[in-house]
């Protein structure tokens, strides 16, 4: 029997600063379970996938 516990990736969510095509910048979690829309143009910025969210906008900053 071997110890393989270290191979299991830890679910670590990060806070992202995302820039929309319209120039608006807002924050969202990279494991968001809900759709995050731009507060200005209502473009979808983050789409939940069940795991790591699908980021549609441009990630300009990652905050641990
Ligand atoms: Zn926008």
Distance 48 CA to ligand 1 centre (A): 18
CATH code for the part of the protein at 4-63: 2.20.25.100
Q: How far is the centre of ligand 1, averaged over its atoms, from the C-alpha of 19 (Å)?
A: 8
**Phi, psi (degrees; rounded to nearest 5) at 6:** -70, -15
Top pLDDT among 2 and 38 is at: 38
Q: Is the pLDDT of residue 4 over 60?
A: no
Strand order, beta sheet including 58-63: 25-29, 15-19, 58-63
Entry pTM: 0.76
Residue 13: per-residue pLDDT: 84
CA of 1 to the centre of ligand 1 (A): 53
């Amino acid at each position: 029997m071997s110890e393989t516990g270290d191979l299991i990736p830890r679910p670590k969510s990060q806070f992202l600063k995302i820039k929309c095509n319209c120039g608006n910048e807002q924050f969202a979690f990279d494991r968001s379970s809900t759709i995050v829309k731009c507060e200005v143009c209502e473009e979808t910025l983050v789409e939940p996938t069940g795991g790591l969210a699908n980021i549609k906008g441009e990630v300009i900053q990652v905050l641990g």
